[in-house]
Amino acid sequence: MIDSEDYAPNDPDVQEKSDLQGGSGGSDGSDDTPTPTETPTETPTDTPTDTPEPTPTPTDTPEPTPTSTPVPESFTYDETHEVPGPGYYQVPFESVNQFTLNWTVTNELTDERDFDVFLMSRSEFNQYIDYIDDESDHKPEVFPGGSAEGVTHDATRTATLDPGEYNLVVDNTDLGDAGDWGEEDPREVRIEIYGEDN
């Protein structure tokens, strides 16, 4: 250690300072160990907790408002079409519920040009196509209460049907009572259909 009085006895700046010490780094204080400063303690911030949200009481949830019985779905169809001879005109329809079907088909031409009206399921309609195209000998099954043969003026039927896909067919082939192959002149008919879910 070097005493400051021996090193610079007449230098007031040196004398005011404490003894110098050797080392890799000097300090201008009386103690070369720096005085630790107080590190401010971090104030914890509010962090989200896993505390569950309060469960609403039954009074907080609005009760469903009672509704009246839904109005049944319904559909209507009212158009006039020419039915080729030989040939047919078909109207497809479907329902996801049991429903009641009312139809009226009116002959818009002479009573001599009669026709048949068949109500059938979609699968039987596909069978109908195969039959009239001579691709199958199996006659399609129709709903007897919802079908009419040999109609000269008009016909009306009502049928209750299960959910499913159906076709109403105005037929001008030899499948039913109306006409024979090769002799069917075109027909013109008005088709009115009303269906309503039960």
State residue 112's pLDDT score.
87
CB environment 153-176: b (16+ within 10 A), e (fewer): eebebebebeeeebbbbbbbbbbb
State residue 35's pLDDT score.
54
Mean pLDDT lowest for which of 125-129, 174-178, 182-186?
Answer: 182-186
Written as six digits, the tokens of 82 are 């020419």
Q: Does residue 11 carry a pLDDT above 70?
A: no
Mean pLDDT of the chain: 78
Q: Does residue 80 carry a pLDDT above 50?
A: yes
State residue 73's pLDDT score.
83
Q: Does residue 18 carry a pLDDT above 70?
A: no
Percent of the chain predicted with pLDDT > 70: 61
Domain borders along the chain are 74-197
Q: Does residue 63 carry a pLDDT above 90?
A: no
CATH of 74-197, one of 3.20.20.70, 2.60.120.380, 3.40.1160.10, 3.40.50.620: 2.60.120.380
